[in-house]
């Protein structure tokens, strides 16, 4: 594992009042000897108030490596930062991986994201908010932040206050009850015809982020005839990561790899 800061200097929207944390990725490369591996940017959850680096970061990256995928765990800025800082960090992580693709033996056309809980919301943002490179900024900013797969897991896909996890919504909005911004960054309202395929899973028993989040996004995708796969498992609460030992939900990693291989192998 190697660590790379998203910006060495001049971090956009950096506020020293919030501490000296610099967002970074931890890069995990598989030992498979293959040329140009696909890469998944892993986005842990934590309600935009902390980052679950171990359970929803390191564990997921090692799982991906075991299946021949490179992985980059994103440790992004959190509250009191607010939108658009989280999205800037996620987009920069994708650009950084693509910029260094040749150095890191990664296929620049096979970069995806997976995110958990609030990290799943950020994963959704990467699926609908992207460009082919920014004309200003440094050389890394000129790389595209477009992805080719996205997997929001037990994700806060919407900021609708009737459904969304309250702390995720509050932190994303900077503590303000901004209904216009909440609507604008609820994924079901942001779909685009050229977005990547989506893999969703949730448990029916999740009492922290309701499964309606995943159901709502899947329904919107299906209505637009956009590719998605959805699994709702009957048992297990929130924050399951690989769901080891949770009946039926423990199938999701194998289902995800099968889906991922379809688009990358």
CA distances for 143 relative to 18, 99, 101, 135, angstroms: 28, 6, 11, 9
Identify the CA nearest to 20 among candidates 30, 28, 29, 11.
11
Q: What is the pLDDT of residue 59?
A: 98
Q: Tell me how crowded residue 24 is: count the other CB atoms within 10 A of its CB.
A: 19
How much is the pLDDT for 115? 98
What is the strand order of the sheet 37-43 is part of? 2-5, 24-28, 70-75, 37-43, 106-116, 149-153, 198-203, 228-233
Radius of gyration (C-alpha) of the chain in whole angstroms: 17
pLDDT, residue 33, reads: 75
Question: At CA 121, angle to CA 178 and CA 247, rounded to 5?
Answer: 135
pTM: 0.97
> Which residue ranges form the domains of the chain, and what is each CATH number?
2-264 (3.40.50.1820)
What is the distance between the alpha carbons of residues 76 and 63, in angstroms, rounded to a whole number? 21
pLDDT at position 38 is 98
Residue 40: per-residue pLDDT: 98
Give φ, ψ of 257 to 5 degrees. Answer: -65, -40
Instruction: Evaluate the CA torsion angle 145, 149, 155, 158 in order and state its sign.
Output: positive
Whether the Cβ atoms of residue 188 and residue 213 lie closer than 8 Å to each other: no
Q: Which residues of the chain have pLDDT under 50?
A: none
């Amino acid at each position: 594992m190697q660590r790379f800061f998203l910006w060495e200097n001049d971090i956009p929207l950096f506020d020293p009042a919030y501490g000296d944390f610099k967002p970074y990725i931890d890069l995990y490369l598989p030992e498979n000897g293959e040329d140009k591996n696909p890469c998944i940017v892993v986005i842990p959850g934590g309600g935009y108030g902390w980052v679950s680096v171990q359970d929803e970061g390191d564990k997921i990256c090692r799982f991906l490596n075991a299946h021949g995928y490179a992985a980059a765990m994103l440790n992004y800025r959190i509250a009191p930062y607010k939108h658009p800082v989280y999205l800037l960090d996620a987009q920069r992580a994708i650009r950084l991986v693509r910029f260094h693709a040749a150095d890191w033996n990664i296929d620049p056309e096979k970069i995806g994201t997976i995110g958990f809980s609030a990290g799943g919301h950020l994963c959704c943002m990467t699926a609908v908010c992207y460009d082919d490179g920014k004309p200003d900024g440094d050389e890394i900013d000129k790389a595209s932040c477009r992805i080719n797969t996205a997997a929001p897991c037990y994700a806060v896909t919407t900021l609708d206050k009737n459904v969304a996890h309250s702390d995720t919504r509050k932190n994303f909005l900077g503590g303000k009850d901004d209904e216009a911004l909440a609507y604008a960054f609820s994924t079901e309202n942001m779909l685009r015809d050229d977005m990547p395929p989506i893999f969703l899973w949730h448990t029916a028993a999740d009492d922290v982020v309701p499964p309606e989040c995943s159901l709502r996004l899947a329904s919107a995708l299906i209505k637009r005839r956009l590719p998605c796969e959805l699994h709702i498992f009957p048992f297990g609460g929130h924050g399951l990561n690989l769901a080891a030992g949770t009946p039926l939900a423990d199938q999701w990693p194998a289902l995800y790899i099968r889906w991922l291989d379809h688009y990358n192998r």
